[in-house]
Amino acid sequence: MEVSKIKESSKKVKNLGKTGKTRMFKHRKDAFQEIAEKRMVELLALAEMIFKEDKALANRYVFLARKLATKYKVSFSKEQKMKFCKNCGSFLVQGVNSRLRLSKGNLVIKCMDCNVIRRSKYK
């Protein structure tokens, strides 16, 4: 009798342990995503500040922000996406290394480094 009770209680403990670990990991994953999102915002702000002095460093900050986004599965906001080129990864500043035009209900952004055009709707 006592052996069967011990086996049942050990099974319950094992099951609780597994669910506890997955819950803890899920919570931890959310925390990592929040930290990554904050860091991405900081990196893009730093890229904006340093662009006039050092374009290569600004591009490096964008590269790091994109790397964080892919690693932790965090997406950029629409405003953040417009700050860098999807093709070459350079930080875009209107009038310096990008051209912004409005045509037929579209917002057209052209990267002057790689000559790629990105179009999006606007209201």
Average pLDDT (14-20) is 50
Nearest residue to 65 via CA among 41, 99, 29: 41
Q: How far apart are CA 47 and CA 2, in angstroms?
A: 67
Number of structural domains found in the chain = 1
- The model's pLDDT over 71-123, given as tens digits with 9 standing for 90+, comes to 999 999 999 999 999 999 999 999 999 999 999 899 999 999 999 999 999 87
Give the model's confidence band at 13: pLDDT under 50 very low, under 70 low, under 90 confident, else very high.
very low
The CATH number of residue 92's host domain is 1.20.5.420
Q: Which residue range(s) make up the domain with 20?
A: 2-121
pLDDT in tens, 57-83: 999 999 999 999 999 999 999 999 999
Alpha-carbon distance 68 to 52, whole Å?
24
Residue 29: strand, helix, or coil: helix
Residue 6 has pLDDT above 70, yes or no: no
Backbone phi and psi for residue 48, each to the nearest 5 degrees, phi listed first:
-65, -40
